[in-house]
Amino acid sequence: MPIFRPQRKRLPGGAKLGDTPTAITRRALESALASARSSYPNEFGGVLRAEPPGVISELLLLPGTTSGRRHANFQLWMLHADLSVAGTVHSHPSGALRPSDADLRLFRSWGRRHLILGHPFTQGMWRAYDGNGRETTLKVVDTPRGVYDAPPPRYAPSPPRPAVARAVDAEAEFPDDEA
């Protein structure tokens, strides 16, 4: 009896699920930079997701992540099991784009690509690192076709219902107590 094995369709020669990302979408990078700006003067931390494989396209924020002026503590146990998670992103409000010793420990134990964002959190103020803490390059690409083609659903209030006039029988609905 044959066994049914569903397979994810991919382009020939394309990236496979779990491959090390080589690019990041402009949308994901701008989202991370905006989050870092809004957290300033505290650090910001998040998780990067590569979907489609090979392209970091999403920023995930973990519940319970705490941050201060010199730290961002991830609650990685809050992350669901997901093979498309590629690494982490965090900010350095000081503007330094080099990983600290704590950053290197995180890089070595978790993920394949890591971003450090430096103050003032503009387009050129970020660096990518591999799992060993070596600086690497990520190409910034526009959102891949087919990923976000469908527009987000828009809220449309339902039209108000017309008032229904009905006769009220005062004695039937509100009987007097005559006992």
Which residues does 127 contact at the CB level (< 8 Å), separation at least 6?
A: 97, 115, 116, 118, 135
Known catalytic membership, residue 171: no
Give the side-chain half-sphere CA count within 13 A for 121.
Answer: 22
Catalytic residue among 43, 58, 135, 178: 43
Parallel/antiparallel/unpaired status of strands 55-60 and 66-67? unpaired
116 φ/ψ angles, rounded to the nearest 5 degrees: -120, 125
Which of helix, strand or coil describes residue 77?
A: helix
Name the DSSP letter for residue 36.
Answer: H
Torsion of CA 22, 26, 31, 34, to 10 degrees: 110
Cβ proximity of 91 and 31 under 8 Å: no
> Which has the closest alpha carbon to 20: 99, 173, 174, 132?
132
User: Which residues participate in catalysis according to the annotation?
Assistant: 43
